[in-house]
Amino acid sequence: MSIHRTISWLAISFCFCYTVVPVTAQETRGTIMGRVVDQSRAVIPGAAVHAVNVNTGVRTYATSNETGDYILPFLIPGTYTVTVELEGFNTFVRSGINVRVNDRITIDAVLEVGEATETVEVVADSPLLDTSTASIGQVIDSKTILELPLKDGMVLMMATMSPGVLSLGTSSGYVRPFDTSNPSNLSVGGERTRSNYFTVDGAPNMQRSDVAYSPPPGVVAEFKVQTSNFDASTGFMSGGTLNMSLKSGSNELHGQLYYFGQNPATQANQFFFNRDGLEKPNFRIHRWGGSSGGPLRLGGLYDGRDRTFWMYGYEGMWSFDPSPFFVDAVPTEAMRRGDFSELLALGPEYQIYDPYSARRTADGRIVRTPLPNNIIPEDQINPVSRMIASLSELPNQAGTADGVNNWQKGKNAQDSYYNHTLRLDHVISDRQRLSGHGYLTLMDRPENERHNRAVGDRFRRWNRGLSVDHVYTVSPSFIVDTRYSFTRFISGFDPFQMDWDLADLGFDPDFIRQVEQVDGRALRLPNVQLPGYADLSIEALRRQHSNIHDVAVNFTTLIRSHMLRYGIGYRVYQENNFNLGDSAGSFTFGTNWTRGPFDTSGSAPIGQDFAAFLYGLPTSGFFPINDSYAEQTTVLPLFIQDDWKISSKLTLSLGLRYERHSPLTERFDRTVRGFDPDARSPIEEVVRANYAASPLPELPPDQFQVKGGLTFAGVDGQPRALWKTNHNVMPRIGVAYSLTPKTVLRAGYGIYYAPIGTVYAHVDQTGFDRSTDFVASRDNGLSFVATLDNPFPDGFLEPLQADGGLATNLGQSVSYFSENLANPRSHRWQFAVQQELPATSVVEVSYVGNRGTRQRIGRELNPIPREYLSTSPTRDQEAIDFLNERFPNPFYPLLPGTALAGETITRTQLLRPFPQFTSVEADVNDGYSWYHSLQTRFEKRFSQGFSSSVSYTWSKSMEARQFLNDTDSGPYEVISDQDRTHRLVWNWIYELPFGRERRFGTNWSGVVNTLFGDWQLQGIFSMQSGIPLGFGNAIFTGDLNDVPLPSDERTVERWFNVDAGFERDSRRQLGSNIRTFPLRFNGIRSDIQNNWDLSLIKNAQLTEGVRLQFRVETINALNHPQMWTPNTNPTSSAFGQVSREWSWPRLFQFGAKILF
């Protein structure tokens, strides 16, 4: 749909809506609503109602309708006073109403007969019960945000204090404002991570599926975590909604200045460093900033009190970060010289074989000779390998006997960050208001990652956004809200590998010239990966620009007892990307050339891969030539919502949402469109003739097919779009019933859709990007045609773009999106009981369920036929040898520079449905999941110096999102990797009752009060179950009940019973088999999360209106080490061992604030 047509449609819809029904969208503003009656409970129409914001003096007006109902929407969070007036009745005033984010508060007014000059004033706390909505959520208010211990100021992580919210980040330590991966990794209500919708003042706060921006705590008024929302105005994502509201200025100037610091002198050592006698990392953070807000005054020209308000916040941060603590294997000094004799002393399974000794036996098998004493001759070590290995650090801890986990260190990153945030609010008239916000952030991080100077880069991220919102009260019962917002997120990597002279490092001049002709910026060390060891070098140069444009027109109207809402919008997701990637080459060194005695023998646990590296013989590799892309998807949402107040006790909410999701497109059609399985390959005739000369016994020539190939967007009649347009309809229903004045029953059901396109997927540029596969040998290792110093002697394959047609990527893997790809769908339901308790407290117990369908997963369409795979529970060497037997290659010499370039080919490849490709993977909607939970929440709002909140979630999450075998008919049902059975969070704020303005000490002198008065203690305790573990395609002959160890027997050296029945010998592992061993196990888990964060605050009144605050906060106060997942590879010598922590070691954070 063109922009012109879209704007035209919006304009027509706008005019239409003025005569029909109105709406709102995702909201941070609140609503006060109610019914005006007399003392006999008869409804009173025509009463004048207005709400006054206590801080700004801004008034909002309404009039009760024929059923006595009124509505005051779009109220900025704050404290309000509601007044109801009508001639012949006393004036009704209700003060102290605290409107929070997305609140819908019912204030019914009973008018007494009398004079309007007489006032009946009611002063009461805000309602604790949600009597007008079925949605479940929790508000985190400003006091909680500012006073609870908050490591590094990442406000969004406070969402984990809500029931139904799981923290699934890989570390608790990275919660700085720019560490957006942790809040993005929240799972809400059983949905996958990166499924949540983040907003700031109602505007999208997203970068694709991640959160884009985390405001400083001082500028946040509050935010609401909506875990189950049955309002049709909610959409775009399938998970929870996190609505954040920025502070607004008031009629008085208020603000704060602050500083927080973390120093290694007050930080505990990391558990494994302490165990191994290593010094604690030199970690430091300095965070400073301030915020202020008030009325806009321009000297004598303009006085904005009661009319125009501003709020500005700034935050800066500098951190030196030597973490996380990587634990890995690095080669010893002897191994760098080619001496692996120490490994051989551990057992014959560590024997390394000479790759240049390969020979073929009479029965066609390839055998190799063992290296004498496991030592590679000096003159056979590749010069490039020698140089790259010299960049690696040496072991710094014992590790296992064979060197696994013999090195531990953190990366050295220095982060600098700043954040500017501005909000403006303006009252144009009694009927019109304008508000907006903007922000700008920059993060700069140079880091030397892991263990050698070849591994490092400079990462920078720019983030900016703005939003403008206009509210127009057409009549007391008809309000229009129009919003435009824009978000831009820019990130990029620049590798440190600059000014390397590849000739001095030993690379062949021809290779250097080839790289330079592709892109001179790629003249760097290649990416070298060894499965058993830490990477020896890596490089990346890329830029990513993500934009979101969003416009929405929303209406609200009151028709009798129905609050009707209706809306329309248009959203554009865009991303431009350039990724040089591994354009210096990427090489993986496995054991193919250094294992033995046969080429199909099992591999050593470690050592053979590094030996292959020293020989300069990669197992696999590629050289990519990448294009850029500019992709886009759009969403057109419509919704209607009817909140029907049937009686004072019963509210019924009925909603319907529609979202039109456009398919993914690329601006210049630089993308694969799909895969045609029936198309004749351009090489079919030649290949079938070659095959007929030497066919497989089990596959006659007439059954050997070479069909299938890629299709391209906008070529040969193919559409530009990668899949069909999706029209998603989402009904919602909710019921809220006040069983008693202090008990509310709430239930709801709704359908939700997750986005696809730019939010979760990228265009496939196969053909526009093109990789040349590294081919070390064309005869399975009998001879070698390429080595690391000259890996591509035949040159690089140039991208053919769409001109390659069906011949694109022959001899390599291909992937594509299903033409019928649909938006993943979730069905969500809940039933909740909410009970008001004494002392401004409320408790809520909820059952929440979720059923996910049409979830996106990958499916391999080019598998080895099932009948040829072994069903033996032990290693079936005969089946392995059968499938790996080599035959004359019918594709030779048609596919140079690919995995099928050799003179021979395996039986496995010839038996595949599409033998001209190594893999054909489709993105399909075959996945599904289900979730059940008990969610409870207790909240005591702040009163008498104390507030507290406790949330507990018991849940079970199951999924079918992965195929156990490529030939299975459907995905495997198993406990979800995101399942955490239990989660408990308790937080509190307690102002100690000592001081001049507190219970004890009202007559204290200034000195005594300074020392002993105005202290407060606050904290957060959290506990969460561990991660369910899996063991791969393992051989297990024992009882699974014997695998978990009792908690008092678990150690980091032995987390579970490694002797319960696992086959540990690497030479006896399964291969070419039908897997039956489950993906993961509910009863075998990693460590639980168990954490206490505490803080102590001292307040001191400097002058009237100016307060000084000193803070001491301790994160992980008990220094309780919480371990990450153990090694689950049965063949590893570190099997069952834990090598790093999830938690942060105890640290103290010191801070000071001046508040005015």
Give the pair of three-digit tokens for residue 405. 């986990």
Cα separation, 816 vs 808, in Å, equals 13
Q: Per-residue pLDDT for 9 more than 50? A: no
Contacts of 8 (CB under 8 A, 6+ apart): none
Which range among 71-85, 321-335, 797-811, 968-982 has the greatest average pLDDT?
Answer: 968-982
Cα 3 → chain centroid: 31
Cβ–Cβ under 8 Å, residues 219 and 256: no
583 band by pLDDT with thresholds 50, 70 and 90: confident
| Rounded mean pLDDT, 801-814 | 94
To the nearest whole number, what is the mean pLDDT of the chain? 91
Q: For residues 415-425, give the mean pLDDT.
A: 96
What is the per-residue pLDDT for 580? 84
Strands 650-661 and 629-645: antiparallel
User: What number of other Cβ atoms are within 10 A of residue 485's Cβ?
Assistant: 24
CA atoms within 13 A on the CB side of 51: 28
Average confidence (pLDDT) over 1-19: 39
pLDDT category of residue 25 using cuts at 50, 70 and 90: very low
* pLDDT computed for residue 994 by the predictor: 94
DSSP, res 603: P
Question: Nearest 5°: CA angle at 625, between 622 and 629?
Answer: 130
Q: Beta strand pairing status for 220-228 and 136-141?
A: antiparallel
Top pLDDT among 939 and 20 is at 939
CA gap 962, 583 in Å, rounded: 31
* pLDDT value at residue 17: 37
Report how far residue 539's alpha carbon sits from residue 580's, in angstroms, rounded to the nearest whole number.
9
Quote the CA–CA distance of 149 and 155 in Å, as a whole number.
11
Residue 805 pLDDT exceeds 80: yes
Strands (DSSP E) found in 760-914: 770-773, 813-817, 825-837, 841-860, 886-888, 904-906
Which tokens in the block code for residue 383?
């010069």
Give me the pLDDT at residue 1144, please. 84
> 85-132: per-residue pLDDT in tens?
998 899 999 998 999 888 889 999 999 988 766 777 766 666 888 888
Instruction: Assess contact for 672 and 271: CB atoms under 8 A.
Output: no
Domain residue ranges in the chain: 3-123, 682-713+864-923, 984-1026+1048-1155
d(CA 371, CA 339): 10
Q: What is the pLDDT of residue 863?
A: 97
Sign of CA dihedral 594, 503, 537, 400: positive
Report, as an integer, the average pLDDT of 1076-1087: 96
Q: Check pLDDT > 90 for residue 818.
A: yes
Compute the average pLDDT of residues 1099-1115: 94
Per-residue pLDDT of 825-868, as tens digits, reads 999 999 999 999 999 999 999 999 999 999 999 999 999 999 99
pLDDT at position 1142 is 87
Top mean-pLDDT range of 450-454, 519-523, 933-937: 933-937
pLDDT surpassing 90 at residue 181: no
Cα torsion angle, 501, 502, 504, 505, sign: positive
CB 97 within 8 A of CB 80: yes
Region 1020-1038: mean pLDDT is 97
The per-residue pLDDT for 411 is 61
Q: In what order do the strands lie in the sheet with 586-588?
A: 527-529, 586-588, 620-625, 770-773
Asked whether residue 2 carries a pLDDT value surpassing 80, the answer given is no
Q: What pLDDT band is residue 371 in, cutting at 50, 70 and 90?
A: very high
Q: What pLDDT is stored for residue 541 in this prediction?
A: 80
pLDDT per residue over 533-569, tens digit each? 777 766 568 889 999 999 999 999 999 999 999 999 9
Task: Give pLDDT, residue 6.
Answer: 41
Q: What is the pLDDT of residues 859-896, one digit of tens each?
A: 999 999 999 999 999 999 999 999 999 999 999 999 99
Band of the pLDDT at 7, cuts 50, 70, 90? Answer: very low
The CA-based angle 1097-1098-1099, given to 5 degrees, is 115
Predicted confidence band of residue 324 (pLDDT cuts 50, 70, 90): low
**Considering just the CA atoms, what is the radius of gyration of the chain in Å?**
33
What single-letter DSSP state applies at residue 410? E
Residue 155 · residue 220 · CB < 8 Å: yes
* Pairwise CA distance, residues 1070 & 1114, whole Å: 49
The three-state secondary structure class of 1117 is: coil
Residue 1075, pLDDT score: 97
Supply the pLDDT for residue 533. Answer: 79
Question: What is the C-alpha separation between 1023 and 1009, in angstroms, rounded?
Answer: 37
Q: pTM for the complete prediction?
A: 0.86
Mind listing the pLDDT tens digit for each residue in 643-700? Answer: 999 998 999 999 999 999 999 999 999 999 999 999 999 999 999 999 999 999 999 9
Do 703 and 691 touch, CB atoms closer than 8 A? no
- Cα separations (Å) of 783 from 366, 773, 776, 786, 894? 12, 18, 8, 10, 20
Which helix (H) or strand (E) covers residue 798, if one does? Answer: none
Distance CA 1149, CA 794 (A): 59
Burial of residue 647 (number of CB atoms within 10 Å: 0-12, 13-18, 19+): exposed
pLDDT in tens, 273-306: 888 888 888 888 999 999 999 999 998 899 999 9
Q: Among candidates 487, 470, 631, which has minimal Cα distance to 550?
A: 487
Closest CA to 967 of 858, 863, 883: 863
Superfamily grouping for domain 3-123: Immunoglobulins (2.60.40.10)
Residue 171, pLDDT > 80, answer no
